[in-house]
Chains A and B, each alone.
Chain A
């Protein structure tokens, strides 16, 4: 489904109960709130490093915030490298063969394509 296609309006009453309860995730403002909450949790975890005695095997582990920095920078590096790799390695879906699993549709008789409007 292309991204610029008009997304059909969905009656909330058609959604399952749990789906209705989660609809607040649709608003950009609430997504921003989740990101702010993530900032706060991260700050809290960083602060926690000063509040307990760390049982470590390596000297490097004793640096406050070592795990936080390692996670952050390694993931950033990973994603940047992967993005560069994507430029190099990306090919069309039918690159290997005109009928490849990547490009052919999943057989209709093996699925049950029901929607909430059915």
Chain B
């Protein structure tokens, strides 16, 4: 059936075998080994189309190996490896197996060469990942998981509709570059957009990611959205509308991230924002821009995971990730604090950290292609990312006002995972050549020029200055125990309210109609009863004498009329 062993099967096999291994260190070790072996397989796969077979008359391609799919496959293995070390202490079989299945489905999707396999893996990620939310086992998480599943499966259904239309149009199921225009391509584009959290399609993410378990959020942060970035880069590179969608994505969540109280939700908004940079890169579509998108996806998977890990460790030790209840933890969790700061510096693109060498490719590409306003927006978004994720998250968790919480440092496995991730964030920032070598096109770009370093430092330090002054003057929004309305208000409040209103009106009209109708019917029956009932006018037995009398009256009247 296939000439190469598809890496996703390793994850499926791992998920099947895992429950048979004694729960504890052996099982955790087995889980961590799976992505390592898988990465080795991916590394050794020769470029080209492999794993092709006929299925119901369609040729399916399980393995399309080229530079674009390989780099995503590798970074997914890396993310799974780090997240599974972080989750070493988890003894919940459901989380252990679904984590592997989820990573496997994402890797399967990345190598899918046709739309049918893409669809199957696409839905696979949706179904496997929802268990990481339900694993919290609370009522709130259950409802959130259902909402997440509806959106994710919905994305797959739209994708399937697009695939079928595409097949009717072109007779091909191949997953190649597409041009927006037909309903088919728009449907596929929309399906990718839902998973990529385009503006107004994004709500599933800030809703669901903070609802998952401590380890679940770390795993969730890596795969679904970056799979969508990959799919867009494969299918819609150079589609101009993506530039504007990406630019809106890069600023819209910033405002929410500044006022949000739950730090894991702050990080989710920042994740959404980082996706905006990647989407702009795809829209620009030049070699430099696509390299930037892939590099930024790679770097962002790592620093975002690191940030989620550090706040997850705080949640694990204190039971809360809310800015309003945290503060002063640097004294007792100094290592976690340092790892958090490294993640923060990376997302803020400080020189020597990973964001600096990846984000700049996208910014340069947008300027080279003449998108000056978009460049200005991205520059603002960079400063904004520094404000909410670079400063706010570490500041409110580890510094700010002393909360009185004295949690112990994170457990060894979390520290190890954070340490490795932090090392990679710095390593990429200091020595970017290995990352650049993995990118789909040859990189002719030098990020460490005097101009770039000085201007970036100016941007960041003056943003920090603004933060310090706003904090000291009390203008910076305080951390309040609250939720903030986002677009999900439309389907969590407005939708149900509209349905309630419609129900009220329909019930009123229905009730009125039924009431009037029933009254009419009752009146009719009453009239019939009066006429034909037991004592009715027409059913009574009339005396003969009365009849004769009436006939006499009638005859008399007729005679009278005749004579007149």
Which of A22, A55, A76 is B466 in contact with, Cβ under 8 Å?
A: A76
Partner of A42, one of B332, B402, B462, B475: B462
Partner of A72, one of B213, B454, B465: B465
**What separation, in Å, do the CA atoms of A111 and B140 have in the docked complex?**
18
Residues of A within 8 A of B457 (CB): 45
What's the minimum C-beta distance from A78 to chain B, rounded to whole angstroms? Answer: 6
Q: Which A residues are CB-close (under 8 A) to B372?
A: 58
Q: Is B443 an interface residue (CB 8 A)?
A: no
- CB proximity to B under 8 Å, residues A69-87: 69-76, 78-83, 85-86
- Residue B550, interface by CB 8 Å: no
A99 to B380 CA separation, bound complex (whole angstroms)? 37
How distant is the Cα of A116 from the Cα of B89 in the complex, in angstroms? 20
**Contact between A49 and B458, CB atoms less than 8 A apart:** yes
Proximity string of chain B (199-214) to chain A, C-beta cutoff 8 Å, 1 when within and 0 when not:
0000000000011011
The answer on a CB contact under 8 Å between A92 and B483 is yes
Interface size class of A (residues with CB under 8 A): 35 or more
Cβ-defined partner of B407 (8 Å) among A71, A92, A116: A116
The answer to whether A107 touches B255 (Cβ under 8 A) is: no
A23 to B387, CA, bound (A): 25
Q: Which 7 A-B pairs have the closest CB atoms?
A: A18-B334, A82-B258, A75-B466, A101-B140, A71-B462, A71-B459, A72-B462
CA distance A82 to B141 in the complex (A): 28
Q: A15-B331, A107-B137 are in contact. Are A41 and B484 (CB under 8 A)?
A: no
On B, residues with C-beta under 8 Å from A are 89, 136-141, 143-144, 210-211, 213-214, 254-255, 258-259, 262, 315-320, 325, 330-335, 338, 367-368, 372, 375, 379-380, 383-384, 386-387, 399, 401-409, 411, 449-451, 454-470, 472, 475-477, 480-486, 492-493
Chain A residues closer than 8 Å to B316, beta-carbon distance: 111-112
**How far, in angstroms, from A77 to B547 measured CA to CA in the complex?**
101
18 pairs across A/B with beta carbons < 8 Å?
A: A6-B404, A18-B335, A18-B338, A26-B331, A41-B461, A42-B465, A49-B454, A69-B462, A72-B462, A75-B384, A75-B467, A80-B475, A86-B480, A92-B483, A101-B136, A113-B407, A116-B332, A118-B408
Contacts of A21 in B (CB 8 A): 334
B317 in contact with A114 (CB, 8 Å): yes
- Report whether over half of chain B's contact residues are helix, strand or loop; otherwise say mixed: helix
User: A42 touching B461 by the CB < 8 A rule?
Assistant: yes
Given contacts A58-B375, A70-B459, 14 further A-B contacts (CB under 8 A): A1-B403, A1-B404, A35-B472, A38-B468, A56-B451, A68-B461, A71-B458, A79-B476, A86-B259, A95-B483, A96-B493, A101-B136, A111-B317, A112-B316
Whether the Cβ atoms of B485 and A91 lie closer than 8 Å is yes
Given A8-B406, A97-B143, CB of A46 within 8 Å of CB of B136: no
Q: Report the minimal beta-carbon distance from A83 to chain B, rounded to whole angstroms.
A: 5
Question: For residue B401, which residues in chain A have a CB less than 8 angstroms away from its CB?
Answer: 3
Closest to B211 in A: A101
Q: Does A13 contact B (CB under 8 A)?
A: no
* Residues of chain B lying within 8 A (CB to CB) of residue A97: 140, 143
* Interface flag for A90 (CB, 8 Å): yes
8 Å CB contact of B210 from A61, A74, A80, A101? A101
Chain B hits for A1, CB < 8 A: 325, 403-405
**What's the minimum C-beta distance from B324 to chain A, rounded to whole angstroms?**
9
Residue in B331, B405, B464, B493 whose CB lies within 8 Å of A22: B331
State whether A107 and B136 are in contact (beta carbons under 8 Å apart), knowing that A75-B384, A90-B484 are contacts in the complex: yes
When chains A and B are docked, how far (Å) is the Cα of A10 from the Cα of B451? 47
Complex Cα gap A7–B406 (Å):
10
Bound CA–CA A113/B51 (angstroms): 48
A72 touches B402 (CB 8 A): no
Question: Judging by beta carbons under 8 Å apart, are A48 and B454 in contact?
Answer: yes
Are B406 and A115 touching (Cβ within 8 A)? yes
Partner of B483, one of A91, A107, A114: A91
Cβ-defined partner of B331 (8 Å) among A19, A99, A104: A19
Q: Which residues, 26 to 77 on A, are CB-close (under 8 Å) to B?
A: 26, 35, 38-39, 41-42, 45-46, 48-49, 52, 54-58, 61, 65, 67-76
